[in-house]
Structure 1
Amino acid sequence: MIRAAIISLTGLALMACTDVSGDEVSRAAPDYLGVDTSLLDGDLVQFHVTMDQLGAPEDLNDYADCAAAQYALIRGYGFARHVRTKTKQESGIWKADAVYTISPALPRGLRTLDAQVVVQDCKANGIPTV
């Protein structure tokens, strides 16, 4: 009797993961809530990005990269380099404070972005830019 109840509860739990058509329910798409941009000094730019329904923390970094790459292009530069990112979550909303340098030539460093390539990737993946 207890074993039948456990099997029944397991079946109910599995049914909760499907919609009425029997297909698995997919996770909601990330919600991009906006970007605020501040020029800190010459080529140093700060981006505050906000998101909801993250699939992974990397989604927030990708959003910041997209904003930085588009900003670089708007300013007539071809490259950006990630300096640092601070993230936090408040009431289920994720926020990042990211800083990048922008430059006309490929900068030194490990996290460099070719702005044209990154913006194309962002558009292909449905990630908004500035």
Structure 2
Amino acid sequence: MRPASIAVVALALGGCSGAVDDGPDLPVTRVIPPENASYAGVQTRLLEPDLVNFLVEMRGARAPADVDAYARCAAAQYALIRGFGFARHIRTNVEEEGGVWRGDAVYTVSPALPPGARNIDAEVVVATCQQDGIPTV
């Protein structure tokens, strides 16, 4: 069986089941995790001083949006750990093979709101992840 490779685009997440837009400024796309989700960890790779690659793995995902949410939570916590308040989503690739879902996400981190439409407020996202039960770094 070949792994299904799916590029997750942040704009497409708004139409996913369980996604909620939390406001007009910096929307927080919420994906309520599946009941049987098992989060297997995050690997972080610094590509540039402000560019970070997150490799996440989980079981029990329903769709790529669940894996993308896990990567977003990791990116938000990482930004806070590094003393930054914001992150910008560059891309997330998701593969599933034998019930194991893997995400390969890239984010920029910055102290000020970066230009672009795919920004996240790290404090808000981490709080939402904690509320929803999705682990961070």
TM-score (norm 1): 0.77
Matched, 1:128 2:135: yes
Gapped regions of structure 2 (runs ≥ 5): 1-33
RMSD: 1.1
2:8 corresponds to which residue? Answer: none
Distance 2:127 2:36 in 1: 19
Aligned residue among 23, 27, 43 for 1:36: 43
Aligned residue among 73, 84, 89 for 2:80: 73
2:117 corresponds to which residue? Answer: 110
Distance 1:57 1:84 in 2: 13
Counterpart residue identity of residue 89, structure 2: H
Deviation at 1:28, TM superposition (A): 4.0
Larger CA Rg, structure 1 vs 2: 1
Which structure is higher in RCO with an 8 Å CA cutoff and minimum separation 6? 2
Distance 1:70 1:31 in 2: 19
- Pick the structure with more helix per residue: 1
Gapped regions of structure 1 (runs ≥ 5): 1-26
- Pick the structure with more strand per residue: 2
1:22 corresponds to which residue? Answer: none
Counterpart residue identity of residue 58, structure 1: A
Could you report, residue by residue, the CA deviation over 1:71-122 in whole angstroms, capped at 9, with x for unpaired residues?
Answer: 0000000000000111111221000100000000001111101000000000
Percent same amino acid at aligned positions? 59
Over 2 Å off, 4+ runs: none
2:89 corresponds to which residue? Answer: 82
